[in-house]
Amino acid sequence: MWRVSWDDLQWLASRDSLFGLHLLRLVVHKLDQAYHKDRCIAGEKVEKRIACILLKMAGEIGISDKCGLVIDTPLTNRDIAGLVGSTEETVSRIMSRLKKEEIIATEGKYLVVKDKESLLAYFDGI
């Protein structure tokens, strides 16, 4: 792990405008991610928050395979409940509904988004 102090970053950015621009883009990207995460969580129905988290994870770490987009990290209902601020029971019920509608599936410990468009429509339709 490498750590750079704020003063050193400011000094580097003042000396190299391309580095400063790159740093600014990174900060803006992180702020945009935080905004979307907050928007997903604040004031939305649990179904919409779960769909949002699944879409975000599929987009960021999803690996395409013949079944769909595999979210390449073990993700339990407890994990999802913690991410969306809900209970495991509620998450379990919603995940079962998504599986029944064949929007998502499980492969071992991994979640698979089988139909990203349907999940997006589910997100928009709630």
Give the burial string for 96-115 (b: 16+ CB within 10 Å, else e): eebeeeebbbeeeeebbbbb
Instruction: Calculate mean pLDDT across residues 90-101.
Output: 95
* Mean of the per-residue pLDDT values of the chain: 87
User: With 80 as the cut, is the pLDDT of residue 28 above it?
Assistant: yes
User: With 80 as the cut, is the pLDDT of residue 37 above it?
Assistant: no
State the pLDDT at residue 32. 84
Q: Same structural domain for residues 77 and 34?
A: no
Q: Where are the beta strands (DSSP E) in 59-109?
A: 62-65, 68-71, 104-107
Given a contact cutoff of 8 angstroms between Cβ atoms, the answer to whether 71 and 57 are in contact is yes
Q: What's the pTM?
A: 0.66
Helix (H) or strand (E) holding 111: strand 110-113
Residue 88's domain spans which residues?
Answer: 45-126
Q: Same structural domain for residues 11 and 66?
A: no
Number of domains in the chain: 2
